[in-house]
Amino acid sequence: AWSKVPLGPPDAILGITEAYKADKFDEKINLGVGAYRDDAGQPYVLPSVKEAELRLLTQLLDKEYAGITGVPTFTKLAAQLAYSPSCPALQEDRIVITQSISGTGALRIGGEFLAKWYPYGKTIYVPTPTWANHGAVFRDSGLEVKSYRYYDKATISLDLDGMLEDIEAAPVNSVILLHACAHNPTGVDPTPEQWRKISEIVKKRDHFVFFDMAYQGFASGDTDRDAYALRYFVEQGHQLVLSQSFAKNMGLYGERVGAFSMVVHSAEEKKRVDSQLKIIVRPMYSNPPIHGARIAAEVLSDVGLYKQWLVEVKGMAERIIKMRHLLKQHLEELGSTRNWSHITSQIGMFCYTGLTPEQVDTLRTEYSVYMTRDGRISVAGITTKNVKRLAESIHAVTK
Ligand code: PMP
């Protein structure tokens, strides 16, 4: 039956991990993975998350299905975390929310909903570059994917003028995808002032915004600060939708904990929209997994655990910021005459180094340093032990 099925291309990032694993050099460095590592290079389970999980285990809860939209205590707290408990839209009961299979699942539910119900066209605009999966998720949802300028290679920073021009030029009522914070893969975020300009143009053109927030708290170490753009847009009266992931900020990667929400006009509209979200979710996976959502709900609802979690998220963000500084410092000490200021000005898990595909190849073959060919490094893969050798390797290929 499958003789006509062609061999598909391997996933670019997973391919790097394979090559890294096969490398016998014991000082090899993997900067491909998009998951946090501690300073010993090990996966990190947050102590607050461990504690929440232990508490759940002692309760020996049943394993009944959640409803189609998931664990209600979790979704309520997730909405508060994103929009803030004092958000008028929350208080007026006009935010629809459903649990999702992490951020990817939230994007997919949103894509499906827009493709089915958005009355003004089926095109979504994503930044260039953007997270590698956005295109496929939205295309498979039935949307057409176009792009707007975002990153300027020459200055290794935000191309604000290009971005505003492209958003303005998109047909009125277009859907615009915005990374809420810690833009992946560039690590370049708009400043509050720039967000205000983006909001103005979006409003002027009656566009509709899809926020992807996969790194709340992980970018600056402050969950409120990282939600600035989202909250500002809500305040400005934009109707929008939001994808949330708890993979990074709670380290719940494989538990697949996320949420998809929509800010709508009224509580009455919420009921109608909610009923249609259920109709979309039911045939896709019926209802979401409960374990991770219960863990997240425990962390978010217990005052002590919540405070502890905030400290731990900040700790992860700070370790990453420290590694950025160390890498830059080592490069400068080695006498690199290049400008590396973007390493520290960028934010979040990733750094767009500005290295060329050829330099990336040399780093892999001659220095056992692994990263994607666009020059993106996962700063979480840097440790106090490997940073010096990393700087030496990067310096060697960029001299
Ligand atoms: N959006 C962005 C921008 C991401 O970087 C990621 C994770 N790498 C996701 C969404 C979704 O990840 P997950 O499905 O693991 O939550």
Q: Residue 336: its pLDDT value, please?
A: 95
Mutate to test the pocket of ligand 1, among 33, 36, 133, 211 (most ligand atoms within 8 A of CB): 133
Q: How far is the CA of 268 from the centre of ligand 1 (A)?
A: 31
Architecture of domain 65-301: 3-Layer(aba) Sandwich (3.40)
Is 248 an active-site residue? yes
Q: Is the CB of 103 under 6 A from ligand 1?
A: yes
Q: Residue 294: its pLDDT value, please?
A: 98
Q: Residue 133: its pLDDT value, please?
A: 95
Q: Residue 113: its pLDDT value, please?
A: 98
Would the CATH topology of 12-44+316-398 be identical to that of 65-301? Answer: no
Q: Residue 14: its pLDDT value, please?
A: 79
Q: How far is the CA of 138 from the centre of ligand 1 (A)?
A: 14
Q: Residue 87: its pLDDT value, please?
A: 97
Low-confidence stretches of the chain (pLDDT < 70) are none
Nearest to 228 by CA among 313, 260, 219: 219
Q: Where are the domains of the chain?
A: 12-44+316-398, 65-301
What fold characterizes domain 12-44+316-398? Aspartate Aminotransferase, domain 1 (3.90.1150)
Q: Residue 343: its pLDDT value, please?
A: 95
Interface pTM, i.e. ipTM: 0.99
